[in-house]
Chain A
């Protein structure tokens, strides 16, 4: 049976049949190829995948951050009943400014180095979501009591993100802050418009382990306190497991597997997910898999069938011909792999351990890329 999106109950954001391609000098690159996903109200959903899997492009097409052309975006993106792709830029900016927020991966490049943290965040608090404030209105708000109120609100938010010494930080420039503090400032900024949907792109990955750990703890608290719906983008499956309710695993511009977090990690189904999990070094000291052979698909000329087929230890001729459907394998659980067709006996489906043994050291090295 085919898994029907949206799988989220009470969906806030649904993405249907998203296709994104890029005109390039060497031809048309078909990067996102039919992505379906949904985020329920109050749900934390992660898109996990490695470099080049299309997770960032998916996020950017939801937020209209891609230049068209060269990008070509089609499909349906619905946010709380409103179809986003058909909105004018202005209407979209309003929805985005008032109801969505984005926290970027790189805290340094998303803060303006020439303004203090206080100025930037107060501006966001006062003008966020209003791209069409008139000049008169701008000066009225900028130089009135409203400014002080906004400043108060920012201060409060900085306290909430556990920024050390918030009063002082308000008057500091981004370069005077540590990476962790900048990340906190960005999170505070994202929460100022009280968004319904928070999109977090590789949050904290540029930071040191112990600081990353603090940020994740903070994020978990904030999600709970603000009743946020979150779309997380990460390459780190461990982070996905720690934070999210549900996970989408992307490979080659497609969702290859989706499941509630516990199910995904206890019982990963797609050979790619299994290979990925097996490649993560284990604290228990079990032998680590030796990685997945081959490299990510060439988007200019992607494999015709399953895009993972050229690297899959279980691929058959069938896999190379047609794209498998997303088979439903339980509540909110789907796998895009022919092994999960009802006709295939359960015994033929690989376990993680089998996949791991396919990928651990074998006598006779195989040639190939990474």
Chain B
């Protein structure tokens, strides 16, 4: 791989703390650390999947990048420009290059406006003449495989999948380079989800789009993302090439996520790490555990895990993991789980599928 060009998006140590106000005079008593030191890059034309359960902060990351909410720390750079807490003028420019697709296809369309009107908004904002609007909207509809009949329809006349196509079309209207996809298929049935994913793949190929794909469903990203980052309580716990994360999930949380997927074939069953149900509930992001944030649920947790915060370090020159198991200083504590990092997958599969170093 050559790397003459810099990444399209660079997120460095991003923090978003929401103040918790209490008492009559609304004094800030505490912070919800929704995003707490998240870093990643996305190369042009590539897809990064951000995986996490509720409370992991994955959606907040996207909302902070696009300026729907301000960051409290760290930097976001888009195409080399620092866009952390961007000014209005910066935001206006940014939003013609970065767009977002929301999770709920229904609530992201105005129920009282026709599809045509909703799609015309970004075009008008870019100064498209009124006389050309209809033609341009129909172009957009065709891009997402809908036809001009939808011009005059209201959202309630569309199925969930059709609505999500419209949402994608609206995001595409400004011809963006980066699309933030916030669980775009989680409200849809599988057969519809498959069509939306196929559409997103086609669009990426056609327009060279870069995606940040946010989801709670690990199984979706296998074919879709180049890189995968697994978030838990505001931190990235594991990040690496998607193939690596699937074939050798290293962090106990990644393994648990993977093993919890209900699959439909024995072949896939063999592919999953040994089933290790997690203990307990996801802690509130308002009250994150000390030490390793995952230690309250981790099947391998030791005393050190509850006091010492693990570093985010590269393992085997591949993915980076935030776990003491991979830290030599703590290696002694984990001698009863020697194979924790190795999924039940033949090594040659890994070798044939992994990216070049």
Residues in chain A within 8 A of chain B (CB atoms): 50-51, 164, 178, 180-181, 208-214, 216-217, 235-239, 241-242, 265-266, 275-277, 279-285, 287-292, 295-296, 359, 361, 365-370
Contacts and interface: CB of A to CB of B under 8 A. Distances in A.
Given A279-B194, A366-B145, 13 more contacts: A209-B216, A209-B217, A238-B262, A241-B262, A241-B263, A283-B222, A283-B261, A285-B353, A291-B198, A295-B159, A296-B159, A370-B165, A370-B192
Contacts of B145: 365-368
Given A281-B222, A281-B223, A367-B145, A291 B262 contact: no
B222 A369 contact: no
A235 B262 contact: no
Nearest to A289: B194
A212 to B, nearest CB: 7
Nearest to A360: B198
Contacts of B147: 367
Contacts of A288: 194, 197-198, 223
27 contacts: A50-B189, A50-B191, A209-B257, A210-B53, A210-B277, A210-B282, A213-B260, A237-B262, A277-B264, A279-B194, A280-B219, A280-B264, A281-B217, A281-B220, A282-B219, A282-B265, A284-B265, A284-B267, A284-B271, A285-B243, A290-B194, A290-B195, A292-B191, A292-B195, A369-B159, A369-B161, A369-B162
Given A287-B223, A367-B147, A369-B162, A208 B263 contact: no
Given A50-B191, A239-B262, A284-B268, A361 B219 contact: no
A280 B190 contact: yes
Interface residues of B, number: 54
A164 B280 contact: yes
B262 A216 contact: yes
B264 A285 contact: no
B119 to A, nearest CB: 17
B50 to A, nearest CB: 15
Contact of A212 (B146, B260, B272): B260
Interface string B275-308: 0011011100000000000000100000000000
B196 interface: yes
Interface in B125-146: 145-146
- Which DSSP category, helix, strand, loop or mixed, fits chain A's interface? loop
Contact of B268 (A164, A180, A239, A282): A282
Contact of B191 (A178, A242, A279): A279
Nearest to A235: B189
A1 to B, nearest CB: 28
A214 B162 contact: no
A238 B195 contact: no
Contacts of B261: 209, 238, 283
A235 B194 CA distance: 15
B75 to A, nearest CB: 30
B160 interface: yes
Contact of B264 (A51, A241, A365): A241
A66 B19 CA distance: 46
A242 B264 CA distance: 8
A279 B256 contact: no
B258 interface: yes
A208 B282 contact: yes
A291 B260 contact: no
B233 to A, nearest CB: 12
A283 B257 contact: no
Interface string B35-64: 000000000000000000110000000000
Contact of A265 (B193, B260, B264): B264
B190 A50 contact: yes
B189 A51 contact: yes
Nearest to A239: B262
Which of A235, A275, A292 has its CB near the most chain B CB atoms (within 10 A)?
A292
Nearest to A361: B198
A181 B219 contact: no
A296 B195 CA distance: 14
B246 interface: yes
A26 B217 CA distance: 38
Nearest to A285: B222
Contacts of A235: 189-190
B5 to A, nearest CB: 28
B309 to A, nearest CB: 22
B30 interface: no
A291 B256 contact: no
B81 interface: no
